[in-house]
Structure 1
Amino acid sequence: MNRLSFIFFLFAFAGFAQGSKIDSVITKQIEEYNSSFANAFVKGSKDDLVKAYTDQSIFMPEHSRQRVGTKTILDFYKQWLTQAKITSYERKILEMQDFGNYLLEIGTFDENLTINEQNSFSYSGKYSVLWKKPSKRGQPLTIAAEIWGSSSYFDDKNIPDIDDSSVPQTEEYSVSDKLASEVRERNNTIKKLVQDRQGAEHAKMFMPDAMYLTYYTPILSGEKEITDYFTEHEKPGTLSIDKISILTSGIIYARTAIIEFGFYHVDWRDGASNGNVRGKSINVWKKDNNGELLLFRQMVNHD
């Protein structure tokens, strides 16, 4: 299938319908992977932690820079396990969305760890994993991208201090086809809404059945929860945004969704206080019945 035919197929898929029923074989594979990952994490078996990643995997850990590829992901886990003693780890799958050639897993995690013989810390939050289906039946799934973040604010001293100095800076996606341009236009709209503190309008960039997984907050599901969050989080007041950038580092055109990898910088000011926040996201875009590109699933965390 050539690119134009592929794009036509993408748009012809009516409304980017909800993912179909997940194959029970695939579900079992993911459940088994989560169990084996948890066992390897507790045992400190570093090489076993990266068996599902590839040289193209995008890895977005909380309070750390985006990494790409097995080598840099393994370095992250080596640093984590050198500093932390993991006493328990568990993932619970909340939902899986089938996008044809890719599958999105969303769930919660609970990790109990100890840093430098401090008191045990319960690091609990949510995660999102984008799985790539194999080209041939019988081959294993691989992780195309992964992101996670806490469900409440926490002190950095409770988790390992990861050295990112050797990790390359994330670069903007350079391709400018029709769909990429439309995503950029949507992001420019969001950027203006954030800067103008129009939270309720920002919430309209999401589908009614969307899920939003943001920093230091439990999973937000549906129009009301997302609207309430943005209305409060981006309300007018003393806080102002001096500068903001929302950029794309990559795009995957799945069969029934557009999956964007994003990164952002925000310079904020509130009275005498000011600061800079950097972060990253996995954004799943779909078309509604009117042909408008909206966020279906989004997860965001801070660097």
Structure 2
Amino acid sequence: MPPTARSPPGISRGIAGDGPGAYGAIRFGMRHPEMFGAVYGMQPVASGPNIQPTHSRPNFERMARATSLDDLRDDGFSLIFTSIYQAFAPNPDRPPLFFDPPARRVDGRIVVDSDRTARFKQGFALTALLPAYADNLKSLRGFKFDWGRQDTLVDHVYGAQAFSNLLAEYGVPNEAEEHGGGFRDRHWGEQGRFYTDVLPFFARHLLFGPPATPTERVNAAHAKLRQAMLANDADARAMLYRADARSMPEYQPVLIGTRQIAAYHRAMRGRRRVTSYVPVASEVFDLGNTLVEIGTFTIRWSDRADEERGKYAHVWGVERDGSLRLKADTWGYFRPLADPAGFFTAIPEPSSSPIPLAAGDRSVGEFLRAHNDRDAEAVRTKDVEAKLVDYTDDAIFMPFADTPKRGMAEIRPYLTAYTAAGSGATFRDVRVWTLAFENYGAWVIEYPKFRVEWTAGGQSGTVTGGGIRLWQRQAGGSLKLHRQIGTHDYVVASR
């Protein structure tokens, strides 16, 4: 189903498969939701745990004697599992089949290598993959899989049921259907499920026209950003920002305007290239001529093997032609990066002089100034309760080098532990101020900055950073923090 000329591929492209292909379709949907709007798996294999142990199926004696796959052509399970082990337990230093067997036959009995089995299972079964990729599946427009209860290989039925139950545990919207067929015997033909179920499913869930909802428009704009990132084209990336945009990457002081933004990404491109980037928007706030996108991402670079996970906030401005451009963005990671200096480049920080306020914004500006003064005092005196009163009950706080904290049940213990960890430090000077804000009546977007000078155990230093805050107007007219993402700058040591 090719996309139309005006619709973004991720919204108008679906992926489906049958049996092993269904496993592959779901796995691709898990790892690349930006590429597919909907996923349908017809009777996926390897969806969950087995009743019969996996290692009981292949003939490990034949596999040990085999010099190539041709030696296993008449042994279906051994041939299939050799290919599976080559894909999920590879070992290029173990010819001729080049994999680490999770079990072997010794004196007529199977001896299982528990470490190899654990590694193999962790990367293979869909239930094992789900915890890391549940949010990706949540971002799909549609997700369905089915299985036949008369399948003679009962592990297919049991695994699919287990996968369905685990999806519910993680809150992943899906359609899971058990029908009266066997393995792959009701899929094809004029009355087959491909025509009666799969195609109608995609007709319901894929978009073949221009993006209509705020989320679809944001996804389309983010797809262009992703394309520029994977092309490592700093100038094309900067063109997706408004001329006066502000960007706040982790470890980098705020960048103002497309010239600084392009210069930063050129410097980054010279150190490492983006090889994979998968964003997942978790929510979009429609403020009229501005859309605020909150989400998570995974990214890989050319200079390292492991992927990093993180969170982001995008503030998209609606242009006159209806397209979107970034007014502001910020992003950070779920853990401290080992080489923060590698994500910093020396670009003169713009002036942070006070903002002249319009008459309608003066009360908001005064509120933010008063709040930031109280915030600075709460940091200096380590007053957790003074900080907690700022948040809505369903707030999401995305701190530096950590995962998002959702609701007061997670924010309170996090801030309590964070404050306790700094109990031995003295904060000599704490400043919090607002670079800029946007007043939308029911919502206020703030771009804050902070600077903390500290002393602890005979050492001293300075911490600076910023981020984006989304304030929500309450019933009585007050403002409370609804979403907040914070970053730290890399501070160059003075000589």
Question: Greater Rg, structure 1 or structure 2?
Answer: 2
Other-structure match for 2:326: 143
Other-structure match for 2:287: 99
Other-structure match for 2:34: none
Separation of aligned partners in 2, 1:158 and 1:184:
32
In the alignment, structure 2 segments of 5+ residues that lack a partner are: 1-210, 490-495
2:306 is the counterpart of 1:124: no
Separation of aligned partners in 2, 1:131 and 1:234:
34
Other-structure match for 2:475: 289
Other-structure match for 2:151: none
> Which secondary structure state, in structure 2, belongs to the residue aligned with residue 173 of structure 1?
coil
Whichever residue aligns with residue 401 of structure 2, its letter is Y
Post-superposition shift, 1:26? 3.2
> Which secondary structure state, in structure 1, belongs to the residue aligned with residue 429 of structure 2?
strand
Contact 1:131–1:142, Cα closer than 8 Å, also in 2: yes
Q: TM-score, normalised by structure 1?
A: 0.84
RMSD value, Cα: 2.0
> Which secondary structure state, in structure 1, belongs to the residue aligned with residue 476 of structure 2?
coil
Post-superposition shift, 1:222? 0.7
Post-superposition shift, 1:158? 8.1
Other-structure match for 2:338: 155
Whichever residue aligns with residue 323 of structure 2, its letter is P
Same amino acid, percent of matched pairs: 22
Post-superposition shift, 1:244? 0.3
- Higher mean C-alpha displacement, 37-46 vs 90-99: 37-46
Post-superposition shift, 1:100? 2.7
Post-superposition shift, 1:97? 1.3
Contact 1:285–1:294, Cα closer than 8 Å, also in 2: yes
User: Cα distance 1:268–1:99, how it changes in 2: closer, same or farther (>3 A)?
Assistant: same
Other-structure match for 1:280: 466
Whichever residue aligns with residue 173 of structure 1, its letter is I
Deviations 1:189-227 (A, max 9, x none): 111111111113311111111111110110111111111
Separation of aligned partners in 2, 1:123 and 1:257:
32
- Higher mean C-alpha displacement, 243-252 vs 28-37: 28-37
Other-structure match for 2:298: 110
User: Cα distance 1:40–1:209, how it changes in 2: closer, same or farther (>3 A)?
Assistant: same
2:365 is the counterpart of 1:180: yes
* Higher RCO (CA-CA < 8 Å; seq separation 6+): 1
Other-structure match for 2:446: 260
2:242 is the counterpart of 1:54: yes
Whichever residue aligns with residue 75 of structure 1, its letter is A
> Which secondary structure state, in structure 1, belongs to the residue aligned with residue 370 of structure 2?
helix
Separation of aligned partners in 2, 1:149 and 1:169:
23
Structure (1 or 2) with the greater helix fraction: 2
Post-superposition shift, 1:255? 4.0
2:255 is the counterpart of 1:67: yes
User: Cα distance 1:92–1:158, how it changes in 2: closer, same or farther (>3 A)?
Assistant: farther
Other-structure match for 1:228: 413
In the alignment, structure 1 segments of 5+ residues that lack a partner are: 1-22
Counterpart mapping for 1:18-57 below 5 A: 24-57=212-245
- Higher mean C-alpha displacement, 36-45 vs 98-107: 36-45
> Which secondary structure state, in structure 2, belongs to the residue aligned with residue 177 of structure 1?
helix
Other-structure match for 2:424: 238
Separation of aligned partners in 1, 2:284 and 2:345:
30
User: Cα distance 1:158–1:108, how it changes in 2: closer, same or farther (>3 A)?
Assistant: farther
Other-structure match for 1:195: 380
Separation of aligned partners in 2, 1:240 and 1:178:
33
Deviations 1:221-240 (A, max 9, x none): 11111111111112373122
Post-superposition shift, 1:43? 2.0
Post-superposition shift, 1:121? 4.5
2:444 is the counterpart of 1:251: no
Structure (1 or 2) with the greater strand fraction: 1
User: Cα distance 1:46–1:75, how it changes in 2: closer, same or farther (>3 A)?
Assistant: same
Post-superposition shift, 1:241? 1.2
> Which secondary structure state, in structure 2, belongs to the residue aligned with residue 49 of structure 1?
helix
Post-superposition shift, 1:272? 1.9
